[in-house]
């Protein structure tokens, strides 16, 4: 009986220690989430507006001036940017992003996966490890697995420049981004979106009678402006994807650690009840032995 009580005491100590860790991780993620949420909240309207401007400009100038980033391409050398976290303990966060990427691959790039022409760029260790294990025929052109607390714009520029160079050289012809769009601490939406070539406005929509073609005034000339404007907007868009994933990660981890703390509390209640029952049983047994021994002595 004493051995059983000792085992339960050890389990209680272990659960208390784990609960302290989950509480601390929840508090850390909550603090980081506030900063990450502020960053994505500030950049999202700016990024959305720039994306609309880019589509309108490229659609309006179709045939007059063009950018390498909106050329029509074939699906021969697609690139998947897989944006996950480098750490776990965040629930199904990474799994959901991977599912979104897998669904996109199954839908569009199954033949590329089969012949090994599918290319990956991994931001985050979890995505990198998954690709190495399940897509060993495919190439990882670059990876950023040891990330700081967040992706700075300078790091995003480095990634974007690499993508632009390979896209311009024809080494890749399509780019998709798998990331997690942040809504709040409890809700994140894993998505896989086309990044390059830039999607223009729907042709039928832009040609409707009540739609007027925008007459933009360019200073300097159209080609020079597009060469400067398009890469800048695309870098901002990529930064927004990474900030979304960063905020989603901390929201998911905070929620997961909160749930883990609650589960630990429930387990502690059960263990303490079991411990008290075992202890009462041991005391009852000892009392019975003492009473029995006393009765035997009196009879003697």
CATH code (residue 231): 3.40.1380.10
In a domain, 1, yes or no: no
Confidence at 83, pLDDT banded by 50, 70, 90: very high
Considering the domain boundaries, does residue 160 fall inside one? yes
pLDDT single digits (tens) 111-121: 999 999 999 99
Range of the domain at 43: 28-257
Does the pLDDT value for residue 71 go beyond 90?
A: no
- Give the Cα separation of 288 and 286 in Å (integer): 5
Name residue, tokens 């931001």.
123
The whole-number pLDDT of residue 149 equals 60
Instruction: Decide if 286 is inside a domain.
Output: no
CA-CA distance, 100 to 13, in Å (whole number)?
Answer: 40
Q: Is residue 132 part of a domain?
A: yes
Q: Is residue 206 very low, low, confident or very high in pLDDT (cuts 50, 70, 90)?
A: very low
Count the domains in the chain: 1
Q: 């590329």: which residue's tokens?
A: 112
Which residues belong to the active site?
Answer: 90
Interatomic CA distance for residues 54 and 216, integer angstroms: 12
Whether 55 maps to a domain, the answer reads yes
Both structure tokens of 165: 């160079």
Q: What is the pLDDT of residues 129-157, one digit of tens each?
A: 999 999 989 999 988 887 656 678 888 99
Position 120 in a domain: yes
Q: Per-residue pLDDT for 297 more than 70?
A: yes
Q: What percent of the chain has pLDDT over 70?
A: 90
Angle between helices 222-299 and 93-108 (to 10 degrees): 130
**Distance (Å, rounded) from C-alpha 41 to C-alpha 37?**
6
DSSP state letters, 25-47: HHHHHHHHHHHHHHHHHHHHHHH
The band of 212, judged by pLDDT with boundaries at 50, 70 and 90, is: low
- Pick from 161, 129, 157: nearest CA to 143: 129
Cβ neighbours of residue 2 under 8 Å, at least 6 residues apart?
282
Q: Does any domain span residue 147?
A: yes
Residue 249 forms part of a structural domain: yes
Phi, psi of 297 (to 5 degrees): -65, -40
């Amino acid at each position: 009986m004493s051995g059983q009580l000792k085992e339960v005491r050890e389990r209680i100590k272990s659960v208390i220690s784990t609960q302290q860790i989950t509480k601390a991780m929840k508090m850390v993620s909550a603090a980081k989430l506030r900063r990450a949420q502020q960053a994505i909240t500030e950049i999202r309207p700016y990024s959305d507006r720039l994306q609309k401007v880019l589509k309108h400009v490229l659609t309006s100038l179709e045939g007059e001036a063009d950018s390498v980033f909106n050329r029509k391409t074939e699906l021969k050398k697609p690139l998947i940017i897989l944006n996950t976290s480098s750490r776990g303990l965040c629930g199904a966060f990474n799994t959901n992003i991977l599912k979104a990427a897998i669904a996109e691959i199954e839908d569009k790039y199954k033949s590329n996966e089969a012949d090994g022409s599918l290319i990956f760029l991994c931001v985050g260790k979890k995505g990198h490890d998954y690709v190495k294990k399940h897509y060993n025929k495919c190439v990882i052109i670059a990876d950023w697995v040891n990330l700081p607390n967040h992706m700075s714009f300078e790091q995003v520029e480095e990634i974007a420049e690499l993508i632009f160079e390979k896209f311009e050289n024809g080494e890749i012809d399509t780019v998709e981004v798998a990331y997690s769009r942040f809504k709040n601490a409890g809700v994140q939406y894993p998505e896989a979106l086309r990044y390059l070539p830039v999607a223009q406005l729907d042709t039928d929509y832009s040609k409707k009678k009540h739609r007027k073609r925008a007459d933009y005034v360019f200073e300097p000339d159209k080609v020079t402006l597009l060469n400067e404007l398009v890469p800048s907007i695309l870098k901002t868009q990529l930064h927004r994807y990474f900030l979304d994933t960063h905020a989603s990660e901390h929201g998911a981890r905070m929620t997961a650690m909160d749930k883990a703390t609650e589960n630990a509390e429930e387990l502690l209640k059960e263990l303490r009840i079991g411990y008290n029952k075992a202890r009462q049983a041991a005391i009852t047994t000892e009392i019975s032995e003492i009473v029995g021994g006393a009765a035997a002595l009196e009879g003697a």
